[in-house]
Amino acid sequence: MLDILGATRKGQQHLLFAKWARAYGEIVRVQVGPFTEYFINSDPAVKEIFDKQSSATSERPRWIVSNEQICDQKNVLLLPASHPRWKHQRKVILQGMTSVSRADAGLPYLHYETAKFLHQVVNDASLANSSVSLFNAIGRYTYSTFACQTFGMDLPNDDSTIDYIFKSGLEQILGTLPGAHIVDILPILDNLPLFLKPWEQKARALFQDNLRWCLKRMRRVEAAVNNLDPSDSFLARVLQDEKKMGFEDTSEAAYLAFMLIIGAADTSKMSTWSFLEAMMQFPDVQEVARKHIEAVVGTDDRLPVYADLENIPYVRYLMKEVWRWRPPVALGHPHTSKKDITYGGYRIPKGARIHLNAWAIGHDPTRHQDPERFWPERFEGDLTTSEESKNASDVKKRDHFAFGSGRRICPGYHIAERSLAIAIMRLVWAFEIVPAPHAKLPLNPQDYPGEMPGNPGEHMPVMLKVRSEAKRKLINDEFRRAETERPPIVGHLNE
């Protein structure tokens, strides 16, 4: 227990559990206070436990504060799979937001927002040279991209709206950690009268505040729909549908749109930030990537677009390597088992918490040679998409486990692929990605930990240097053109 507390204080839980995986094998049992946690550390074990036995391993722990009070049981990420709302929301998300066709429909927003980001960086030296400002600028464009797709509204500036969304999501996630709330350890406390439960008063107040925020924006979307506004968004499609996509109350759809921004934007931001870390630490890979991209796009002819991915296999290898090397959720959100599970002589009892240890699998030296090295060539010849790879009959051929596995696999991987591919191509094409002048060399990831284990934080000492004046001019010209071709929106999310 002391080892876990020490690792948690340093943000190094992923390293501790990877060490235990190498020492103790495919499944490691850990007692965290009153909770029994099982970490699944090999690809065959993941295939058997999360995929083949997904009907028994897709539940969630009971999170009284995070799920029942902060989210009023309306957040698909935290809901148990047996809850009817989880099944409905998953269906709506897959059909109305994250299918291949819907992901492709979101490309114009991605192209516009990344063009705006490039334009901001090449014209603002303080932004290019400040890691915190750069981190926030990446956050702005990812949040804005997904806000356009969910609410039909953008985020033109880095302001308090982003902090509001981020902190709302963080409050939910932090509340799922073992020991975060005493009532999750002693559920009998939930029977106390409300005036004796300050945690519930705070949690329900947060939900009501979030709901008011969502409803205010939904009313603007409703007005736009009634005025035959041409903008397209998830929430507009719900309101236009005769059966409201199965929602009994459209306020739930508005809240789901809010949750989708949180779920998509933060992980996309972290993957892009991790890619910059890799390019800074492995400049030889950056140079190879630049040559591959410019061979197709040209040196200063145009900006890369998503369609270029088909002709630049190396970008596909880069994406796979980013998600192997730095999975956004290194230890996975815990599942629980509905019954006793057996695997290879191991027994996982009913009710146990189960984690897919994506970090340990991605950094297993028996699976990936020299796992700490960022080496895209390890995937040479593997052109599978995330969907194709997760469905491989031979789990040894699966590229990574960043999106989870089984019934609860992240439904947004089509969107995530498009977001990261465009970010990779445009960042490498436009900028030399280098350590900041004040960086302590050699770089040590433990010097700049992020909010989530295994991810670099905002103080990662990185800077971007535009590769040429010709590229700067092209970026400015392309952004002006992108402004004229931008899909219509309802307005700004921060209004």
Enter the pTM of the model. 0.95
C-alpha closest to that of 141 among 174, 96, 109, 98: 109
pLDDT, the chain, mean: 95
* Full DSSP string of 302-316: ----GGGGGG-HHHH
Structure tokens at 370: 């020299």
Is residue 154 classed as helix, strand or coil in its secondary structure?
Answer: strand
CA–CA gap between residue 5 and residue 13 (Å, rounded)? 9
CA–CA gap between residue 186 and residue 198 (Å, rounded)? 15
Residue bearing tokens 């490309």: 107
CA–CA gap between residue 148 and residue 493 (Å, rounded)? 9
% the chain with pLDDT above 90: 89
Amino acid identity at 113 = E
In a domain, 351, yes or no: no
In a domain, 464, yes or no: yes
**134-189 pLDDT, tens digit each:** 999 999 999 999 999 999 999 998 789 999 999 999 899 889 987 789 999 999 99
Helices 283-297 and 413-430 pack at an angle, to 10 degrees, of 90
In a domain, 337, yes or no: no
Is residue 73 classed as helix, strand or coil in its secondary structure?
Answer: coil
Q: Mean pLDDT throughout 251-275? A: 96
User: Is 272's pLDDT higher than 90?
Assistant: yes
In a domain, 26, yes or no: no
pLDDT number for residue 7: 79
Which residues make Cβ contacts (< 8 Å) with residue 54, sequence separation at least 6? Answer: 406, 407, 408
CA–CA gap between residue 111 and residue 422 (Å, rounded)? 8
In a domain, 25, yes or no: no
* Full DSSP string of 199-218: HHHHHHHHHHHHHHHHHHHH
pLDDT number for residue 181: 92
pLDDT classification of 1: cutoffs 50, 70, 90: low
Range of the domain at 130: 63-329+363-492
**470-491 pLDDT, tens digit each:** 999 999 999 999 999 999 999 9
In a domain, 339, yes or no: no
Structure tokens at 84: 């009817």
Structure tokens at 371: 């796992």
**85-140 pLDDT, tens digit each:** 999 999 999 999 999 999 999 999 999 999 999 999 999 999 989 999 999 999 99
Amino acid identity at 393 = S
CA–CA gap between residue 251 and residue 136 (Å, rounded)? 29
The CATH number that applies at residue 451 is 1.10.630.10
Instruction: Give the count of domains, the chain.
Output: 1
pLDDT number for residue 9: 79
User: Is 252's pLDDT higher than 70?
Assistant: yes
pLDDT number for residue 200: 97
In a domain, 84, yes or no: yes
**290-315 pLDDT, tens digit each:** 999 999 999 999 999 999 999 999 99
Indicate the pairing of strand 335-336 with strand 27-32: unpaired
In a domain, 265, yes or no: yes
**43-73 pLDDT, tens digit each:** 999 999 999 999 999 999 999 999 999 999 9
Q: Are 353 and 35 in contact (CB under 8 A)?
A: yes
